Chain A
Amino acid sequence: MKSNYILPIMVLAFVAWLAGCASPASKEALVVDDASFGTRHPYSVSISTSGGGETTAMSYTNIPNEDLAAAIEESITTSGLFSSVIKGDGADYKLSVSLVSMTKPMFGFSFTINMEMAWSLVNARTGDVVMRESIKSSHTATAGEAFAAVTRIRLAVEGAVQNNIRQGLQEIAALSLD
């Protein structure tokens, strides 16, 4: 390759790298499917999520609220933590999970995402608040896991969300529900 093409190609690669700096998180990668929490609450639960958002070409990797809710639902169903997950009204307990903050590193060989989510669980019948926790999680994706920075960011986000869901469900498993 002629050396006089190297500079334009480098510039082009830089532009492509910038333009492609967002890759949406995979819903399947958020699910905690390797855990049994040792508790089976004989109640139904509904799930609402907020604070997430769509990933666009110009934004950072994000988590759609629908995907976060679906991942929590599947994690609960797989582990049997509640007897059922109900959409809409009629559940025994209402679980609310909100993404409060997420760090967004832009450069580096390893990307570490730190995340905070607010978890609250309310008895739908009595209105009693049975859990109110700020859950912090993190995950590091290294260059060994993926060469492309955009992929490492996505892996780090997915790992941090999955860790957060695991911790949140562990907290719920430790509760004594009426």
Chain B
Amino acid sequence: MIRKDKLGFIIVLLSLLVLLHGCAVNRATATVDQTTDLSSLKVLYVKKYSEDTRDTNVVIKDKLVEMGFHVSETETEVDAIVTYVDKWFWDFTFYLLELTITLRDPKTDFPLASGNSYHTSLSRKSPEEMVGEVLTNIFFNNQKQGVDNEK
């Protein structure tokens, strides 16, 4: 049996653990290569991440269409291929912890531009908001190059 005082000590430590893990960390970055002209990209293809079980590709595709891009169903004859990595985490419910989206040259696979968004549990955002944040930073706020606004 665990004594009451020791149990209290453990509860305090576990609370600290939860607190540490749940701290609000927000980070959103976007970079565009010096050789890339984003205005020339009109037709895109979203390549589904092999480990994506939550259809984040559909959220990305919908957002790109909303932003005025034509999203092709095939990899051929597109201006860029959109790849992504989504990381989900559980804190009472599953939420999207980190999302990285990369636009790639369809011929060489070169990363033309990339954006990342990271929000821990206390500042969690919906997948739609995360996708919107990353794509907006890539296409409209890429002067944020290298910015790391952790709070």
Contact = CB atoms under 8 A, between A and B. Distances in A.
B28 to A, nearest CB: 11
B111 interface: yes
Contacts, number: 87
B108 A134 contact: yes
A54 B6 contact: no
Contact of B111 (A18, A59, A94, A134): A134
B50 to A, nearest CB: 14
Given A11-B14, A54-B150, A122 B34 contact: yes
Contacts of A54: 148, 150
Contacts of A18: 17, 20-21
A39 to B, nearest CB: 22
Interface in B98-151: 100, 102, 104-105, 108-111, 114, 120, 145-146, 148, 150
A56 interface: yes
A102 B110 CA distance: 16
A161 B145 CA distance: 19
A40 interface: no
Contacts of B34: 48, 94, 96, 120, 122
Interface in B16-42: 16-17, 20-21, 23, 25, 27, 29, 31, 33-35
> How many residues of A sit at the interface, in one of the four size bands?
20 to 34
Contact of B148 (A12, A53, A101, A118): A53
B9 interface: yes
Counting chain A CB atoms within 10 Å of each CB, the highest count among B9, B17, B29, B146 belongs to: B146
Nearest to B150: A56
B85 interface: yes
A94 B33 CA distance: 12
Interface of A: 4, 7-8, 11-12, 14-15, 18-19, 48-54, 56, 58-59, 65, 94, 96, 98, 100-101, 116, 118, 120, 122, 129, 132-134
29 contacts: A7-B10, A8-B9, A8-B10, A11-B10, A11-B17, A12-B13, A14-B17, A15-B13, A15-B16, A48-B34, A53-B27, A53-B29, A54-B148, A56-B25, A58-B120, A59-B27, A59-B150, A96-B34, A96-B35, A98-B33, A98-B111, A100-B111, A101-B85, A118-B114, A120-B33, A120-B34, A132-B33, A133-B110, A134-B109
